[in-house]
Amino acid sequence: MHATVVRAQSPTSSRPGDEAIILGDGSIEGFVGGQCAEESVRLAALNVLTSGESVLLRVLPESAADFPKVPGAQVAVNPCLSGGALEIYLEPHLPMPLVVVVGTAPIASALARITEALGYRSGVAASLDDADFAGASAVILATHGHDEPEGIRAALDAGVRFIGLVASEKRGGALLEALDLADDERARVHTPVGIEIGAKAPEEIALSILSSVVQAYRAGDLEAATSTTSPAVREAIDPVCGMTVIVRPDTPHKLVDRVETWYCCTGCRDR
């Protein structure tokens, strides 16, 4: 996650152009404001990492006038700010889906080329023995009759969400019936794979197949088997200012009546 300060209204310690990287565990490398502003950025950044959508974050003191809600912008009212206001652009940087193609036919070669042209990560294997489905979002089997049941089973067991089989409707249907898949497994296997566009040439068929992969990705159905999303984070409420904070090793805290209590900053803790 890349954060850039685009506007800073005094009094504030940051300036336009200040930048930081926010990692999936909430740690921040760089500078986008003091400790109180940093906590608002941290919370918003983790939400952006989950949604995958960029956002303009407005961090305002509690006394600030209301800002109108607009698409692509988010307001964080921070009661600990000593005046001033910040606008910070949060841009997620997430790995693109990994599409593994198995096969040596012209369709397989075209799939690999177009996958890379889309900016997706591509893995190519000549045969099932050479294939590695770890972390794959989609697997396309273009082996034309070779090891297809084994390939489908291996991809299902690896947790792949989208499995495409290049086959006729008749052959693909018969193969799936013979596999006797559970309903949730059957929903992950697409055969004949691709969107109907009247494709005939290998490149056209590859375009049809990858169109269905893109459709699934944009619908949020291609979560990788080895998740790259942020790990679970623990949140707490600062009892002084009411802010939600993320519990990390460096989060200010104090034992109060034998209960560990967490704060947005040392000022609230000391108060």
Over residues 198-213, the pLDDT tens digits come to: 999 999 999 999 999 9
Q: Residue 144 is encoded by which pair of tokens?
A: 């034309």
The residue that leads in pLDDT, 128 or 39, is 128
Does 232 score more than 70 pLDDT?
no
* Confidence (pLDDT) at 226: 39
Half-sphere exposure of residue 14: CA atoms within 13 angstroms, side-chain side: 29
Tell me what pLDDT residue 63 has.
64
- pLDDT tier, 13 (very low <50, low <70, confident <90, very high otherwise): confident
Write down the pLDDT at residue 258: 83
The secondary structure element, H or E, covering residue 4 is: strand 2-9
CATH class of the domain defined by 98-218: alpha beta
- Structure tokens, 129: 């023995």
The pLDDT value given to residue 67: 61
What are the two backbone dihedrals, phi and then psi, of residue 265, each rounded to the nearest 5 degrees?
Answer: -155, 170
Residue 64 has pLDDT above 70, yes or no: no
Kindly state the average pLDDT of the residues 101-125: 94
For residue 143, CA distances in Å to 20, 30, 105, 146, 200 come to 46, 48, 7, 5, 18
| Total-model pTM | 0.64
Give CATH 3.40.50.720 domain extents, the chain. 98-218
